Amino acid sequence: MRDYLLLYINGKKHIIKANEAKKNLSSYLRENLNMKGTKIVCSEGDCGACTVLVKRFNDENFISVNSCILPLYLLDCCQIITIEGIENDNLHQVQTLLSTYHGTQCGFCTPGFVNSMVYMCDDLILKKQLITEQKIKNYTTGNLCRCTGYKGIIQAGMNLDLSKIKTIKQRYETQEIKEAFNEALENEVVLSNGETELILPKDITKAIELKKSGFNVISGGTDISVFVNKGYNKNKKFVSLNNISELYIINDDEKFLEIGSKVTLTSFEKACKKDFPTFTQALRIFASPQIKNIGTVIGNVANGSPIGDTMPLLYVSDAILELSGGNSRREVLIYDYYLGYKKFDLKDDEIITKIKVPKTSNEFKFYKVSARKDLDISAVSLAISYKIEDEIIKDISIAFGGVAATTYKAKQIEEFLINKEFSLENIKESKKIVSQIFTPFSDHRGSSTYRIKLCENLLLKFYNEVSSKVEVA
Give the CATH number of the domain where residue 19 resides: 3.10.20.30
Q: Indicate if 181 and 253 belong to the same structural domain.
A: no
Mean pLDDT rounded to a whole number for the chain: 94
What's the mean pLDDT in 109-135? 97
pLDDT at 102: 94
Beta-carbon contacts of residue 185 (< 8 Å; ≥ 6 apart): 57, 77, 202, 243
DSSP letter for 215, please: P
Q: Indicate if 41 and 133 belong to the same structural domain.
A: yes
Amino acid, single-letter form, for residue 208? I
Q: Tell me: pLDDT of 454 over 80.
A: yes
Q: What percent of the chain has pLDDT over 70?
A: 99
Residue 244 lies in a domain: no
What are the distances in angstroms from CA 318 to CA 55, 247, 305, 315, 366? 34, 21, 18, 5, 15
Q: Indicate if 281 and 141 belong to the same structural domain.
A: no
> How far apart are alpha carbons 149 and 106 in whole angstroms?
12
Could you tell me the sign of the dihedral formed by the alpha carbons of 269, 410, 378, 299, in that order? negative
Q: Tell me: pLDDT of 178 over 80.
A: yes
Residue 464 lies in a domain: yes
Residue 411 lies in a domain: yes
What's the mean pLDDT in 210-222? 91
pLDDT at 194: 83
pLDDT at 246: 93
DSSP letter for 163, please: G
* Orientation of helix 110-127 relative to helix 151-158, angle to 10°: 30
> How far apart are alpha carbons 351 and 217 in whole angstroms?
8
Q: Are 243 and 99 in contact (CB under 8 A)?
A: no
Q: Indicate if 443 and 315 belong to the same structural domain.
A: yes
Q: Indicate if 17 and 130 belong to the same structural domain.
A: yes
Residue 61 lies in a domain: yes
| Per-residue pLDDT band at 371 (split at 50, 70, 90) | confident
Q: Indicate if 439 and 297 belong to the same structural domain.
A: yes
Q: Who wins on pLDDT, 326 or 461?
A: 461
What's the mean pLDDT in 367-375? 86
> How far apart are alpha carbons 309 and 271 in whole angstroms?
17
Domain hosting 124: range is 1-186
pLDDT at 472: 55
What are the distances in angstroms from CA 31 to CA 71, 77, 177, 461? 14, 21, 25, 52
| Tens digit of each residue's pLDDT (9 = 90 or more) over 316-329 | 999 999 999 978 89
Considering only CA atoms, which of 48, 82, 42 is closest in space to residue 66? 48
pLDDT at 116: 98
Q: Who wins on pLDDT, 334 or 234?
A: 334
pLDDT at 470: 57
Q: Which ranges of 390-447 does DSSP label H, i.e. alpha helix? A: 411-417, 424-437
| Tens digit of each residue's pLDDT (9 = 90 or more) over 22-53 | 999 999 999 999 999 999 999 888 899 999 99
Q: Are 289 and 141 in contact (CB under 8 A)?
A: yes
How many structural domains are present in the chain? Answer: 2
Q: Tell me: pLDDT of 473 over 60.
A: no
> How far apart are alpha carbons 99 and 127 in whole angstroms?
27
| Tens digit of each residue's pLDDT (9 = 90 or more) over 376-423 | 888 999 999 999 999 999 999 999 999 999 999 999 999 999 999 999
Residue 156, judged by CB atoms within 10 A of its CB (0-12, 13-18, 19+), counts as buried
Q: Are 19 and 193 in contact (CB under 8 A)?
A: yes
Q: Tell me: pLDDT of 167 over 90.
A: yes
Residues linked to residue 343 through DSSP beta bridges, in sequence order: 340
